[in-house]
Chains A and B, each alone.
Chain A
Amino acid sequence: MLYLYNDIVIYSGSRTVRYGGCPRYGGKGGGEMQSFPDSLVDLKSQGHTLIGCFPLYPPLELLHSFGLTPVVLWGLRQDITHLTRSDRHLQPYACGVARSLSEFVLSRGGELLDAIFMYNACDTLRNLPEILGSSLDRHGSPIPLFRLHIPAVPLSRAFASDYLNEGIRELIGELEKFTGRSFSAQTFLNSTGLYNRQRRLSRDLERLAAAGRLRFSDCSDFLLSAGRMSLDDHISILERTIREFNGRAPGHQGVRIMLSGILPPPVALLDAIERAGLTVVANDIAALRRSYDYLPAASADPGAYYQDLYRNHYPCTTILPSADSRLETIMQTVRESGVQGFIFVGEKFCEYEYFEIPAVKRMIEAEGVRTLELEIGMDDALNLDAYQTRIEAFAEMLLHETRGSRRDNDAV
């Protein structure tokens, strides 16, 4: 959904609360709800050429430098509740990200997307291009598709970085043909600068949430809205939001917890987490911190830039060479942020995440941090009561332990 904040349209998971107009922040109200497709309609009407990108970490800067507006097709679950079209193509054991992405592309893609980009992020996504492409062709609304294979071996190996360079060069050639523009090193440099600005601001906003100046659920909304608006708009929203919340006094801090997963949990669950007295002070969410934590050096050379970005990316279950550093990074965050609880937000059927959960869980629990596993499937988004109960029980346990340890400290 989207709402207006000082005349700027902002995506918000599924809630009616809104900054500026949000009662809990004392705003004056007045917002317009918009679905994800509607937000793309708006962008199109403003003259944007939209390129729908498969998750997780597409080369946004390069697409942007060709005058395209990339929108990453994840987090659509709240807007896509019926899977009429995608269910004709995908069995129900595909993850919710792939199913809702497919539904969107098949039902509205022809009308809203000018192009699609995908890379080898995961096994499920790699199976989709032909499925979607042939269906769109059959329905008379073909969409040009661009692909890139990002090496799944360390880019420190010369042949792997050469291979990536070659792939990027090929992609540039295809984008030149598609847009009728020539690649411009200067424009690319500007785009990298803008995306780094967005990353920096995203990290700043996240820090404000960790400090209790705004709720994590709201912070997450602001950050996810990046995929539904132009980069400039998102940057200006982040700047204004940060200005506004910087001045606010920290709110009540509950028990400190960290979230991990592909997407943040549905808004109702984030609300339940916060209502239960837990404060999200850190996250290892692919659509959030994993996406913006690393700032590559600005560069006019796409090859060099993406070597740096993908080589030093914040570890992710889908970036295979980052496996070794992932556990260390999580552990470091757990320690630095002093969390007492850790919630895995499992994306049902995402094997990438599920293979790693046992190892991460063992490591964190050995540190004395409590863990909770939630599993969010396509249908669960509509039926969250059972999860709320589990969150409340988890919170109670953590609160009880916190009080207990305070008492122990007092006694000492």
Chain B
Amino acid sequence: MMPSEKKRGEFKKNTSGKRLSTMIMNDYLDLHRRAYEGAFVVWIAIIVPAELFGGFEKVVYAVPESHAALCAGKGTGPVLCEKAEGFGYSTDLCSYARIDIGTAFDGGRDSPTFGLPRPDLLISNTNNCSLLVKWFDVYHRAWGVPHLVLDIPFCYENQKERDFRYIMDQFGTLISTIEEMSGQRFDLDKARESVRLSSEAMKEWKRFLGFAAHRPSGITAFDSFVQMAPILTSRGTRRLVDHYRLLADETAEQVKNGIFPVPGEKYRLLWDNIAPWHQLRKMSGRLAGLGANITSASYTYCIGALEGEYDPYEFDGNDPLAWLARLQNFSVCPHGLNLRGMAMKDVIGRNAIDGVVFASNRSCKVYSLMQMDQMRYIREELGLPCVMIDVDHADVRKYSEETAFTRLEALLEMIDA
């Protein structure tokens, strides 16, 4: 056993890991149960503001992207991708979409959650990518389920006032569509409470991520990848706040006690792109063996902040819809190079990053087709070593561990040089 692995073994995963598994399992069970009992089921793209559903009595939501990530993490990504390919969907399409189509058109077989309950309404959006719209159209056509699209203008600069108004108008359509289809009334106060809880949860989330600033880091980005899951299943709930508060508290306790995920941490790295769901354990373990810790990731530090920023965007208690609309460009894909660079520069400084790993992901062109320029910026403007590796976030068939590690080791050498 490598010494660092032994030390890593001392790092207790604390109770947050177990709590997380239980929470996710319960969330999916609850989703199926409530759908069975007649709740109105909405399938949403990740960034669709799920807090709004908290304003209804009996509306439940499922996030196909999140379910696809879970499948990839549990190792069923390739078999589900192959099913979609068998139905005629190109291997060049996003692997989340292929996993989801493979699940949906085969009755949920091979899914750790037995798939998702059939939707009454599909809500996609264009902010992360417009291919989500095309993906949801597949179900709209196959099942005749109505499909509502939220159109979120891309941010080259900070969100414009008129874009904000446009988004607010669309939230109005979303609410009235659900009211009409489900026969339920929307309660703004309940939605406000969901938003308040989300905002609180995001503060705790950022407190947790903040331990990446400690040397050695109190967390790895892989922890943040795993721990982000309930944001997609429990958004706007008290249990999410409690979970992240405990997670941050437990992490603080470990740091205080000198327990670190990579105790012999020599290299502090930043990851740019979606999590490599099929490699979480392998990659983090192998990197730890090299004394390297990917402490931060753009995929998770963007959560809860405005485009181009790091700190959480706090809810002022007034209009919950306004808070949600203003946050619609937070995730990396719906904002441009300059904003991405600003946030990355901030995190590099805060967390004393030594090098950046750009995971070029052919499944997610929106995330990836800016990385060559972003890499140039980090290298030339900030003087930090960078490397680009090829990783498909959910289709392990398109990943070569050896090729990736040859490059990662080269990055560590550059840092040493």
Instruction: List the interface of chain A (C-beta within 8 A of B).
Output: 88-91, 93-94, 98, 120, 122-124, 126-131, 134-135, 147, 149, 151-153, 157, 159-160, 163, 166, 317, 320-321, 323, 327, 346, 348-349, 351-352, 354-359, 361-362
- Considering only CB atoms, which chain A residue lies closest to B366 in the complex? A123
- Considering only CB atoms, which chain A residue lies closest to B147 in the complex? A323
Q: Known: A93-B92, A354-B89. Contact between A130 and B130, CB under 8 A?
A: no
A356 / chain B contacts, CB cutoff of 8 Å:
134, 137
Residue B338 at the chain A interface, CB threshold 8 Å:
yes
**Shortest 4 CB-CB contacts between residues of A and residues of B:** A358-B88, A355-B134, A159-B169, A130-B337
B135 / chain A contacts, CB cutoff of 8 Å:
355
Cα–Cα distance between A392 and B163 once the two chains are bound (Å): 51
Q: Tell me which of B89, B150, B165, B166 has the highest count of chain A C-beta atoms within 10 A of its own C-beta.
A: B166
Q: Known: A134-B337, A151-B151, A354-B93. Contact between A123 and B131, CB under 8 A?
A: yes
Whether A352 lies near B134 (C-beta < 8 A) is yes
Cα–Cα distance between A94 and B149 once the two chains are bound (Å): 25
Q: Known: A93-B362, A159-B169, A320-B130. Contact between A120 and B89, CB under 8 A?
A: no
Q: Known: A90-B369, A152-B151, A320-B149. Contact between A123 and B137, CB under 8 A?
A: no
Main secondary structure of the interface of A (DSSP, over half): helix
Whether B133 lies near A152 (C-beta < 8 A) is yes
Cα–Cα distance between A120 and B81 once the two chains are bound (Å): 29
Cα–Cα distance between A94 and B369 once the two chains are bound (Å): 7
Cα–Cα distance between A79 and B134 once the two chains are bound (Å): 31
Cα–Cα distance between A359 and B143 once the two chains are bound (Å): 12
Specify which of A131, A157, A355 is in contact with B370 (CB 8 Å cutoff).
A131
Instruction: List the interface of chain B (C-beta within 8 A of A).
Output: 87-90, 92-94, 97, 126, 129-131, 133-135, 137-138, 140-142, 149-151, 153-154, 156, 162-163, 165-166, 169-170, 173, 336-338, 360, 362, 365-366, 368-373
| Shortest Cβ distance from residue A106 to the other chain B in the assembled complex, whole angstroms | 12
Q: Tell me which of A123, A128, A160, A320 has the highest count of chain B C-beta atoms within 10 A of its own C-beta.
A: A123
Whether A359 lies near B162 (C-beta < 8 A) is no
- Considering only CB atoms, which chain A residue lies closest to B166 in the complex? A163
Whether A320 lies near B133 (C-beta < 8 A) is yes
Whether A317 lies near B89 (C-beta < 8 A) is no
Cα–Cα distance between A358 and B85 once the two chains are bound (Å): 10
Cα–Cα distance between A66 and B93 once the two chains are bound (Å): 40
18 other contacts beyond A94-B369, A166-B162, A355-B137, with CB at 8 A cut-off? A90-B369, A91-B371, A127-B366, A129-B336, A130-B373, A147-B156, A149-B154, A152-B133, A153-B150, A159-B170, A320-B130, A320-B134, A320-B149, A321-B149, A323-B137, A351-B93, A355-B89, A357-B90
- Considering only CB atoms, which chain A residue lies closest to B89 in the complex? A358
A351 / chain B contacts, CB cutoff of 8 Å:
92-94, 131, 134, 365
Q: Tell me which of A90, A124, A166, A361 has the highest count of chain B C-beta atoms within 10 A of its own C-beta.
A: A90
| Shortest Cβ distance from residue A86 to the other chain B in the assembled complex, whole angstroms | 10
Whether A358 lies near B369 (C-beta < 8 A) is no
Cα–Cα distance between A291 and B263 once the two chains are bound (Å): 61
Whether A152 lies near B162 (C-beta < 8 A) is no
Cα–Cα distance between A157 and B171 once the two chains are bound (Å): 13
Cα–Cα distance between A159 and B88 once the two chains are bound (Å): 37
Whether B372 lies near A90 (C-beta < 8 A) is yes
| Shortest Cβ distance from residue B96 to the other chain A in the assembled complex, whole angstroms | 12
B369 / chain A contacts, CB cutoff of 8 Å:
90-91, 94, 98, 124, 127-128, 131
| Shortest Cβ distance from residue B231 to the other chain A in the assembled complex, whole angstroms | 23
Cα–Cα distance between A348 and B365 once the two chains are bound (Å): 13
A346 / chain B contacts, CB cutoff of 8 Å:
90
B142 / chain A contacts, CB cutoff of 8 Å:
359
A88 / chain B contacts, CB cutoff of 8 Å:
372
